[in-house]
Each structure stands twice: as structure tokens, then as C-alpha cells.
């Protein structure tokens, strides 16, 4: 039973991280739309790269959560 609770807590922790990563992604989108005309090309490129890295982080976390959920079925 302790292993089950440990996995559930880990899934909860990963869900919090996904929430933070989604908030960061939405903030980047809002920021670039509000400052699009005043940003240099380099700033735009860096923002898009950071946004893509954040999306990759979200996808990896999602994959990890799904793996953990499937491992619950084995317990």
C-alpha cells in the first residue's frame, strides 16, 4: 500500500509541474503578443525557442505521468 501512495504523490507532484509549465507557456505567448512590435529579431527567436523547450517539457511530463498511471495497474 505504501508504494501505491508513493506513486500517487509523485503523479500529483508532476501535475503541479505541468501546471507551472503551462502557465509559463501562456505567459510567454501573452508577453510576445504585447511586445511584438518593439522586440528585436533576436528577442523573438529566443522567446520562441524557450516556448518550444517549455512545450517539450510539458510533453515529457505528460509521458511520465501516463507511465506512472499505467504502473498503478500493476500494483
What's the rounded Cα separation, in Å, for the pair 1 and 32?
Answer: 47
**Nearest residue to 61 via CA among 27, 24, 26, 12:** 12
pLDDT, mean of residues 67-74: 87
Please write the tens of the pLDDT for every residue from 3-25.
888 999 999 999 999 999 999 99
Please check the confidence at residue 74 and state whether its pLDDT lies above 80.
no
Please check the confidence at residue 68 and state whether its pLDDT lies above 80.
yes
Question: What are the Cα distances from residue 39, in Å, to 20, 23, 24, 44?
Answer: 25, 22, 19, 6
Which sequence spans correspond to the domains of the chain? 8-72
Residue-level pLDDT at 1: 67
Amino acid at each position: 500500500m505504501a508504494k501505491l501512495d508513493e506513486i500517487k504523490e509523485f503523479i500529483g507532484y508532476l501535475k503541479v509541474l505541468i501546471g507551472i509549465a503551462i502557465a509559463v507557456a501562456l505567459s510567454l505567448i501573452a508577453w510576445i503578443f504585447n511586445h511584438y512590435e518593439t522586440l528585436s529579431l533576436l528577442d523573438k527567436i529566443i522567446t520562441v525557442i524557450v516556448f518550444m523547450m517549455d512545450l517539450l517539457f510539458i510533453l515529457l511530463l505528460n509521458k511520465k505521468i501516463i507511465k506512472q498511471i499505467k504502473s498503478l495497474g500493476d500494483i
